[in-house]
Amino acid sequence: MRTTNTFGIQFIIRMNKAKDNLVPIYSRVTVDGRRVEISLKKWINPKEWNNNKGLAKGTREEIRSLNHYLEEVKAKLMNTYQEMQIHKELITAEEIKNKFLGTDEKDYTLCKVIDYHNTQMKESLAWGTMKNYFTTQKYIQMFLKVKFGTPDIYLSQLTYKFIVHFEYYLRNYKPLDHHKPLGNNGVMKHIERFRKMINMAVRMEWVNKDPFAKYKQKFDKVNREFLSKEELAKIENRELSVVRLQWVRDLFVFSCYTGLAYIDTMRLSPANITIGIDSEYWLITKRQKTSNPVRVPLLPKALQIIDKYKGHPRALTEGTLFPVISNQKLNSYLKEIADLCGIHKNLTFHLARHTFATTIMLTNGVPIESVSKMLGHSKITTTQVYAKVIEQKLSVDMKTLKEKLASDNIDKGFLRVINQ
């Protein structure tokens, strides 16, 4: 990590700002080739200025007083630079100027903006989403310490280069615990959350320019894994002697036939089950993640599971449709069920939602617009990640069409023979 900077102080005059034969004096501060100028609110006749020395020339008391002031300015700027070195702050010409003018305390810092964002959003975002923001915050704090040796920076110091270096840090970060290193999409999700926080600062006018303006995110396309009809049948029909596994299997299968996410399943109450316009049972709720409405006609398998847990003591106590279990435990038990059923896919509760969209809905000819509504998606493009299953359905439909056409040709050939 770089710990030293090239640093320079120079006093200059601005001939293009002359007034009444006097020109203003500026202090030019340069750090690592980047410079800023500070107006000193002092004026001088250009004939009395020594460009080489950066000082006024002459012996008059007024000239001596001016040069003494310039030396004090230089000493103060030098002290500011040295203090920033001691405290391991990120040193830039702009930051030295801010500290010299006393405007640095008015600036918003990166960590303060992140704290503000997370405080404001915790009421409107689900806890699972907020956990992701807290993780991104942790990575930003680690990056600041490793790269710059400082716990925070000002928003004015954020640049495109900062973002690129942060991306590089994420890609090369090696966790010390059991977690896997971040893949491309994991890195991009952290950048995406970072970007949303900075966008808030831009909208609030806490920063003059958007450092993300020229930055492009690149996500890798991901194939959504789901259970085939045969794999789902294995889970449904497997004899399980352990009660907790039966319970987890039932919750998973329920989601396979309704498309509900974990948190939405756990929050269901008897009030969410109602009679629809077709005089059949419907499930009506809202997604906690987006507050989008969800209306799903209940299939027989889902109704059987609801009926099985009607009157369950824990569900009655909690006022829910099913006894509640944590997502962590649920997914852990699903791994056991996958082993027992000989299923080698990464069986998680969210896989049930994908299975509903593909194996239960799209493969059986339900239009993607209807599937999008039942999943509670805001945009149909979100549902189109499941479009690969339409190719499977297309293959089946084309096979049926070929058989029909072949049958029609046989019939036409037979008619020609009869008519001859």
59: tokens are 């012996």
The pTM assigned to this predicted structure is 0.60
pLDDT over 60 (residue 53): yes
Is residue 402 very low, low, confident or very high in pLDDT (cuts 50, 70, 90)? confident
Residue 76: the pLDDT is: 94
CB 370 within 8 A of CB 380: no
Compute the distance between CA of residue 129 and CA of residue 118 in angstroms, rounded to an integer: 11
pLDDT over 50 (residue 2): no
pLDDT over 70 (residue 106): no
Is residue 292 very low, low, confident or very high in pLDDT (cuts 50, 70, 90)? confident
Residue 270: the pLDDT is: 95
More confident residue, 95 or 339: 339
DSSP 157: G
Listed by start position, the domains of the chain span 7-104, 110-203, 229-386, 393-420
pLDDT digits (tens, 9 = 90+) for 261-279: 999 999 999 999 999 989 9
DSSP H stretches of helix in 215-299: 229-237, 243-256, 262-266
pLDDT digits (tens, 9 = 90+) for 233-261: 999 999 999 999 999 999 999 999 999 99
Chain centre distance of CA 361? 29
Residue 225: the pLDDT is: 86
Residue 413: the pLDDT is: 57
Mean pLDDT of 285-314: 92
More confident residue, 302 or 368: 302
Residue 97: the pLDDT is: 87
Mean pLDDT of 123-142: 88
pLDDT over 90 (residue 339): yes
Domain 229-386 top-level CATH class: mainly alpha
